[in-house]
């Protein structure tokens, strides 16, 4: 009997092709739209109805069963509330990582298995082999950074068939071969499931921010900000302070409600050769001492060689082979062994 696979179908081309490929490979495929967010925001209409209809249209084209799981309450609690709390604490979280950890590869997986599925599948650009996570063949689209908090057990029950495609054009070509309605649909942007709204516009609906001082490297107040939580390390745009050299955010004090900036691109607060990680997660096993590993400090950032690792009570300290710019508390640092993802942690 064919294995039953529930495919998370977002209404985009990647998950549409995922469903088509798995059906072609002989799996018993059911499409599932996860309704995680439906609230419109001022100036931004949530696209969930359109996405749901696109996913359903593709399911009909493929002749597969289709259903919707309503995870809106859990998504709000696990992802949105977490994101808001982190920003209010002065950190810069990654909601997509939390969405993968809590919703797609926990809530969706468990609900699907209880609903009769043997496995789930998603349109992620990553590869799974023997319960281990690897980077995608498409280096530009690789999403393994966002998946480092997924468990080995979840990976054992998951499929990511488009991780082997080397270009997005190849994926769209497959969609056109199957005649899928989403073949030419543009990639989604913005916060996971919410739509094209930016982080700041999103946060403004849920937090009250107080104006405060912007302070430059010599301790001189040079302007006012409209909420310290909106600013992140390395940020250049949106400061609205006088001409001359551009200013970059190098820090903030949430208690004083101050944002610190510099015009010096070599300012030591902009560069770090050491990382301190907490809230560690390893997919399979912890890193072994004496091995050469690499770390990625943000999505699309180049891999940097780790020269030393030291455990402490709070987590893990990393010494890097070179200084890395704009390391940001609250962001994730993901550790790789070549093209295999070991795991990682949250930057302190």
158-159/28-35 β-pairing: unpaired
Question: Tokens 């992802």 identify what position?
Answer: 79
In this structure, the number of other CB atoms found within 10 A of the CB of residue 126 comes to: 25
From the list 273, 274, 252, 272, the residue with the least C-alpha distance to 262 is 252
Among this protein's residues, is 99 annotated catalytic? yes
212-215/126-129 β-pairing: unpaired
Burial of 214 (0-12, 13-18, 19+ CB in 10 A): buried
Among this protein's residues, is 192 annotated catalytic? yes
Burial of 249 (0-12, 13-18, 19+ CB in 10 A): buried
Catalytic residue among 21, 133, 192, 270: 192
Instruction: Spell out where the chain has E strands.
Output: 4-8, 28-35, 65-70, 119-121, 126-129, 132-135, 158-159, 212-215, 221-225, 248-253, 258-262, 271-282, 293-296, 304-312, 315-325, 332-337, 340-347
Backbone conformation region of residue 143, classed left if phi is above 0, alpha if psi is from -120 to 50, else beta: alpha
Catalytic residue among 99, 107, 137, 309: 99
**What spatial distance separates the first Cα and last Cα of the chain, rounded to whole Å?**
49
Burial of 127 (0-12, 13-18, 19+ CB in 10 A): buried
- For residue 157, what is the DSSP state? T
Q: Which residues are catalytic?
A: 99, 192
């Amino acid at each position: 009997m064919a294995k039953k696979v529930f495919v998370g179908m977002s209404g985009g081309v990647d998950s549409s092709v995922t469903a088509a490929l798995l059906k072609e490979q002989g799996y018993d495929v059911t499409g599932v739209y996860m309704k995680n967010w439906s609230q419109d925001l001022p100036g931004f209409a949530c696209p969930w109805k359109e996405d749901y209809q696109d996913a359903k249209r593709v399911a009909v084209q493929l002749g597969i069963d289709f259903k919707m799981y309503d995870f809106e309450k859990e998504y709000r609690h696990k992802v949105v509330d977490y994101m808001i709390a982190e920003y209010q604490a002065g950190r810069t979280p990654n909601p997509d990582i939390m969405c993968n950890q809590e919703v797609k590869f926990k809530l969706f997986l468990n609900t699907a298995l209880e609903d009769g599925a043997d496995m789930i599948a998603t349109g992620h650009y990553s590869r799974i082999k023997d319960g281990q996570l690897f980077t995608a063949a498409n280096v530009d689209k690789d999403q393994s950074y966002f998946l480092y908090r997924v468990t080995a057990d979840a990976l054992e029950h998951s499929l990511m068939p488009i991780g082997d495609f080397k270009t997005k054009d190849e994926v769209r070509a497959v969609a056109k071969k199957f005649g899928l309605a989403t073949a030419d649909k543009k990639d989604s942007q913005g916060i996971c499931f919410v739509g094209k709204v930016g982080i700041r516009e999103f946060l403004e609906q849920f937090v009250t921010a107080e104006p405060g001082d912007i302070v430059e490297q010599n301790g001189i107040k040079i302007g006012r900000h409209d909420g310290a939580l909106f600013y992140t390390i390395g940020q250049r745009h949106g400061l609205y302070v006088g001409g001359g050299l551009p200013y970059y955010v190098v820090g903030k004090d949430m208690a004083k409600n101050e944002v610190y900036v510099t015009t010096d691109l070599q300012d030591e607060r902009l560069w770090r050769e050491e990382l301190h990680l907490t809230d560690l997660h390893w997919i399979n096993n912890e890193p072994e001492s004496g091995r050469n590993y690499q770390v990625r400090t943000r999505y699309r950032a180049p891999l940097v060689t780790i020269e030393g690792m030291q455990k402490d009570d709070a987590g893990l300290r990393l010494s890097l082979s070179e200084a890395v710019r704009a390391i940001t508390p609250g962001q994730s640092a993901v550790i790789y062994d070549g093209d295999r993802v070991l795991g990682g942690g949250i930057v302190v």
